[in-house]
């Protein structure tokens, strides 16, 4: 649900009621020009009374005096102007959006005294507003307890000297926001509504943006020998799908960059069934696939100059008379055999086949997979960083940098032969769990057995894709983690 705010840019505006948002740096003067929405003196008086010091994301919120053109005024603090980084513009936009309340018209006066505001900053501010305004309320039939109207539209005008360029920069930013919101919507969607077939249909919709989309069904996957993925799917009455999305925005001969997502639309654990408490959260076990489709949406919508492939492994993990058992041995597309120890370690089985397929068919420049793969990564890193595992230091460093830039943060964890040994099996080439210790790492070692020497990174997003704490730009259950991160990775390193 992304359509609450309608954002435009202008060099000036004539305010008639509504909310005026002003910005102020700690080391700058108070806001001066606000097109008559409010006088500098009135702002200074309110700031004095409230002891507002413009610390980063501090807010001064007051009703405008009678003679002002605006009804309400919000001043957002930026902290010291020399400390400002790109992400602060997202945060400031998100903070402003959180203060809209019942206003249906908002004028944002972006050019704070002493602060150089670029077109990119303005676009990021607008993106922050949109991300913060997101609500997943399509299944609520009544008004919220705060009485807010469900489908209320808010018109936002962002006033800045850089308006013309900001508008252009915003077109790109909007593509990325739409991708992140697509990912959030899919993760928030209940599992009865979103099965593998429905998810695949969502992927198919990317054709409208010029992407090529193929959907492989069970028969196709059986022909390819994807016994690991199919073993997970066989306990569900809803059949699996593999979605293959291609965006060809780069040079014809350039190797594609590839992204592979775990799309377990619901994870009961299968025969190794999970405890009841909190199991509803496992509707979000397709957060990796949601990030990949969101990223592909972003790249296609902003016509990124890159060849990219997105692959989604879509299955449901259910207990059933036909479900796979602990002790089963399955043969993956790679030919390697896997002893199932725990049917709840299903994500790696899906990804093993999806990664192998991706590598064989596309010979990509690199592969990055995203997966809500282990509870163990939550134990290790909590909700602030996703786990990063990689066989390539350059790819890893580029990812870490993009993580800091977007504040979708990563922390690198090790891979090593000593860990790999832990998934050797008595009866098959490997087993699908490695025991109690180092659970996030042994899961990553499993995946590495399906990537050969291709540069590869695995992001374990179990702690960051859902149920993560609120930030200035996200208050919803599903964060959309990974879309902004990977868009930035591509933009900074692999375009053109
Ligand atoms: N989908 C879960 C991991 C998960 C846990 C995601 C919590 C989000 C929040 C995954 O399929 C799983 O069940 N992993 C097991 C692996 C174990 C059986 C080796 C786990 O982490 O307990
Ligand atoms: Mn599981
Ligand atoms: Zn799972």
pLDDT per residue over 43-74, tens digit each?
Answer: 999 999 999 999 999 999 999 999 999 999 99
Lowest mean pLDDT among 101-105, 333-337, 369-373: 101-105
Residue pair 406/474 in contact (Cβ under 8 Å)? The answer is no
The DSSP bridge pattern shows strands 386-390 and 456-460 to be antiparallel
Residue 346: pLDDT over 50: yes
Give the pLDDT confidence of 201-212 residue by residue, as tens digits.
Answer: 999 999 999 999
Q: What are phi and psi of 172, to 5 degrees?
A: -70, -45
Query: Tokens representing 495?
Result: 């375009």
What's residue 149's pLDDT?
65
Residue pair 65/20 in contact (Cβ under 8 Å)? The answer is no
Within 10 Å of residue 59's Cβ, how many Cβ atoms?
17
Query: Tokens representing 291?
Result: 């990030």
Give the pLDDT confidence of 107-151 residue by residue, as tens digits.
Answer: 999 999 999 999 999 999 999 999 999 999 999 998 766 556 666
What's residue 127's pLDDT?
98
Q: Pick the ligand that lies closest to the CA of residue 461.
A: 1
Residue pair 20/64 in contact (Cβ under 8 Å)? The answer is yes
pTM above 0.85, yes or no: yes
Distance in Å, CA 262 to ligand 3 centroid: 8
Confidence bin at 1 (pLDDT 50/70/90): very low
What's residue 150's pLDDT?
63
Residue 41's Cβ-count burial label (10 Å; 0-12, 13-18, 19+) is exposed
Over the range 173-208, which residues count as b (16 or more CB within 10 Å of their CB) and which as e?
bbbbbbbbbbbbbbbbbebeebbbeebbebbeebee
Residue identifier of the C-alpha nearest atom 13 of ligand 1: 344
What's residue 468's pLDDT?
87
DSSP state of 81: G
What's residue 496's pLDDT?
85
Task: Let me know if 222 is a catalytic residue.
Answer: no
Give the pLDDT confidence of 458-490 residue by residue, as tens digits.
Answer: 999 999 999 989 999 999 999 999 999 999 999
Average pLDDT over residues 168-186: 98
Task: Report the C-alpha gap between 223 and 372 in whole angstroms.
Answer: 28
Question: 165: Cβ–Cβ under 8 A, 6 or more apart, which residues?
Answer: 119
Task: Let me know if 72 is a catalytic residue.
Answer: no
What's residue 108's pLDDT?
98
Average pLDDT over residues 284-305: 99
Distance in Å, CA 142 to ligand 3 centroid: 33
What residues line ligand 1, using a CB cutoff of 6 Å? 267, 285, 342, 344-347, 372, 374-376, 433, 439, 462
Residue 121's Cβ-count burial label (10 Å; 0-12, 13-18, 19+) is buried
Residue found under tokens 């957060």: 287
Confidence bin at 2 (pLDDT 50/70/90): very low
| Beta bridge partner(s), residue 456 | 367
Average pLDDT over residues 390-406: 98
What's residue 148's pLDDT?
61
Q: Which atom, in ligand 1's list, is nearest to the CA of 432?
A: 19
Q: Specify the higher pLDDT residue, 349 or 142.
A: 349
Task: Report the C-alpha gap between 397 and 364 in whole angstroms.
Answer: 19
Query: Tokens representing 228?
Result: 């690991």
Query: Active site residue: 204, 274, 412, 452, which one?
Result: 274
How does DSSP assign 16-42, residue by residue? Answer: -SSEEEEEE-TTSPPP---TTSS-HHH
Q: Which atom, in ligand 1's list, is nearest to the CA of 466?
A: 8
């Amino acid at each position: 649900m992304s359509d609450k705010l309608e954002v435009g840019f202008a060099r000036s505006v004539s305010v008639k009621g509504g909310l005026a948002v002003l910005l102020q740096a700690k080391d700058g003067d108070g806001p001066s020009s606000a097109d008559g929405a409010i006088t500098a003196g009135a702002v200074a008086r309110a700031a004095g009374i409230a002891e507002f010091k413009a610390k980063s994301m501090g807010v001064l919120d007051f009703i405008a005096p009678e003679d002002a053109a605006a009804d309400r005024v919000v001043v957002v603090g930026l902290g010291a102007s020399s400390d400002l980084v790109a992400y602060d513009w997202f945060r400031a936009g998100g903070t402003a959006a959180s203060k809209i309340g019942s206003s249906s018209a908002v004028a944002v006066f972006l050019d704070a005294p002493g602060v150089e505001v670029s077109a990119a900053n303005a676009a990021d501010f607008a993106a922050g507003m949109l991300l913060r305004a997101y609500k997943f309320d399509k299944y609520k039939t009544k008004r919220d307890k705060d009485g807010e109207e469900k489908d209320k539209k808010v018109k936002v005008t962002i006033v800045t000297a850089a308006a013309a360029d900001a508008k252009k920069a915003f077109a790109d930013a909007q593509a990325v926001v739409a991708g992140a919101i697509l990912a959030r919507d899919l993760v928030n969607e209940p599992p009865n509504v979103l099965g593998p077939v429905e998810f695949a249909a969502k992927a198919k919709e990317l054709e409208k943006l010029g992407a090529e989309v193929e959907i492989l069904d069970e028969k196709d996957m059986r022909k390819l020998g994807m016994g690991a993925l199919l073993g997970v799917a066989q306990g569900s009455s809803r059949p699996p799908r593999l979605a293959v999305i291609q965006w060809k925005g780069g040079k014809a001969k350039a190797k594609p960059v590839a992204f592979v997502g775990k799309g377990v639309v619901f994870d009961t654990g299968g025969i190794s069934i999970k405890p009841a408490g909190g199991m509803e959260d496992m509707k979000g076990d397709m957060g990796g696939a949601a990030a990949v489709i969101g990223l592909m949406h972003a790249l296609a919508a902003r016509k990124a100059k890159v060849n990219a492939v997105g692959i989604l492994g879509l299955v449901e993990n259910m207990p059933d008379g036909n479900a796979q058992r602990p002790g089963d041995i399955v043969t993956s597309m790679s030919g390697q055999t896997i002893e199932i120890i725990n049917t709840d370690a299903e994500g790696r089985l899906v990804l093993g086949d999806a990664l192998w397929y991706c590598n064989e068919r596309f010979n990509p420049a690199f592969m990055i997979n995203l997966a809500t793969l282990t509870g163990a990564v939550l134990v290790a890193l909590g909700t602030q960083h996703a786990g990063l595992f990689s066989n390539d230091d350059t790819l890893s460093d580029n990812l870490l940098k993009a993580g800091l830039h977007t504040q979708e943060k990563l922390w690198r964890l090790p891979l090593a032969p000593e860990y790999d040994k832990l998934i050797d099996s008595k009866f098959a080439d490997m087993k699908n769990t490695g025991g109690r210790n180092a659970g996030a790492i042994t899961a990553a070692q499993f995946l590495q057995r399906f990537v050969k020497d291709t540069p590869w990174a695995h992001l374990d997003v179990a702690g960051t894709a859902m149920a993560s704490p609120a930030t200035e730009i996200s208050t919803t259950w599903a964060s959309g983690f990974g879309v902004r991160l990977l868009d930035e990775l591509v933009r900074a390193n692999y375009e053109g």
